A = this chain, B = another copy of it.
């Protein structure tokens, strides 16, 4: 069997641990030089394949590749670009084959979420549809934790840990100040459609912190919400609120859209957090502070979950091993086998069952009043935030790696516009 090259690319929003998956792919591939000659990475995701902008990862030292494991973001660049169907854009698929042929690519590893699983699935069919032999394996990644079949997604555990810890720390702060100053702290977190990340903020209730969680899965009920906040302030003298960016009114409008206008009349300057904070102030008069974590939450490698880092690496490693074992059109998955102590193993799922399927948070994870999490949710979340995995530091700053990212010489003989 002759060695082929592998293509690897990162897709969609990046995370604190997607590079750990890249590390798993590349380190594992390097252990099989007889089967995988080289790993070419797409610069900025699939766009790198279409434009033949490939990165020669063999130019990176073993140390640099190892450092990917503790470096957040997408080391090769990512993109938001979804391939249309073969019927709608045959040109793109033919171009992929052209580039893959030119560079002798036999393996396609695509690291992303639901949209990327769809792209990966389409590529996996090239063999059948366009007669080009390739094995396509999807490497799961998404802070939103919304991929089906796998128990959880690499990237989520670290965001969950960051949100849980940050909510705890800020809640301790507001508790200190409540007597004469701030009584309300509102934290806005990611999650347009699913409340997994917001749920992590709910864990602080286990530390005797009064907290209200606003999920995208639950229609916002202003009266009920304000009553819950009031009750908690009356009991504890303060209250924390974790609001998902996707929290919305019964008519579907996001809270963040609630008529906010800047001086030029543009909508949506603020986020959901200031809207909620001002709502509390107007109705109940409590002094507030609010924060919007945004990219800080998904980039916070300094506080990554050790479980998450290990799983991200394992998914990259398993993708290569599955490919070498002959698999195509699959995604490695995380299979939970025990909760306490937590145990998991690597499984696999067919991409036909993964692509374009969004896993919502089960309703039994949301408390009956819709404003908190249940014990079942706690049991699910705790293992995923377990353990710390600190990056090395120099001069007080994390030693994150920026790769050389040297281009592979073009061979396809033509340019391509995306």
Q: Spell out A's residues near B (CB within 8 Å).
A: 10, 13-14, 16, 44-45, 47, 71-75, 77-81, 161, 164-166, 168-170, 172-181, 185, 187, 203, 206-208, 258-264, 266, 269-271, 273-275, 278, 282, 289-296, 298-303, 305, 382, 384-388, 390, 393, 395-398, 400, 402
Q: Is the CB of B282 within 8 A of A266?
A: yes
Residue numbers in B under 8 Å from A177 (CB-CB): 13-14, 74, 78-80
Residue numbers in B under 8 Å from A77 (CB-CB): 175-176, 178-179
Which of B73, B258, B294, B393 meets A290, CB within 8 Å?
Answer: B294
**A71-B172, A169-B73, A397-B164 as given contacts; A282 in contact with B300, CB under 8 Å:** no
**A176-B10, A291-B296, A388-B390 as given contacts; A302 in contact with B169, CB under 8 Å:** yes
Residue numbers in B under 8 Å from A174 (CB-CB): 295
How near does chain B come to A144, taking the closest CB pair, in angstroms? Answer: 15
Closest to A294 in B: B291
Residue numbers in B under 8 Å from A47 (CB-CB): 179-180
Q: Is the CB of B263 within 8 A of A269?
A: no
Q: Is the CB of B169 within 8 A of A296?
A: yes
How many copies the complex holds: the figure is: 2
Residue numbers in B under 8 Å from A79 (CB-CB): 177, 179-181
Q: Which of A185, A261, A302 has the most CB of B within 10 A?
A: A302
Apart from A168-B400, A384-B396: 5 A-B pairs, beta carbons within 8 A:
A72-B172, A77-B176, A208-B402, A258-B262, A260-B263
Of all A-B residue pairs in the complex, the 10 with the closest CB atoms, nearest first, are: A259-B263, A385-B396, A73-B172, A74-B176, A291-B294, A169-B299, A270-B270, A44-B179, A170-B295, A173-B299
Q: Is the CB of A14 within 8 A of B181?
A: no
Bound Cα distance from A338 to B176, whole angstroms = 36
How near does chain B come to A295, taking the closest CB pair, in angstroms? Answer: 4
Residue numbers in B under 8 Å from A71 (CB-CB): 172
Bound Cα distance from A395 to B200, whole angstroms = 13
How near does chain B come to A302, taking the closest CB pair, in angstroms? Answer: 5
Bound Cα distance from A174 to B295, whole angstroms = 8
Q: Is the CB of B296 within 8 A of A166?
A: yes
Closest to A15 in B: B173
Residue numbers in B under 8 Å from A164 (CB-CB): 396-397
Which of B16, B275, B295, B302 meets A303, CB within 8 Å?
Answer: B302
Q: Is the CB of B396 within 8 A of A386?
A: yes
Residue numbers in B under 8 Å from A181 (CB-CB): 79-80
Q: Is the CB of B382 within 8 A of A386?
A: no
Q: Is the CB of A386 within 8 A of B395?
A: yes
Bound Cα distance from A78 to B44, whole angstroms = 49
Bound Cα distance from A177 to B76, whole angstroms = 10
Bound Cα distance from A384 to B395, whole angstroms = 10
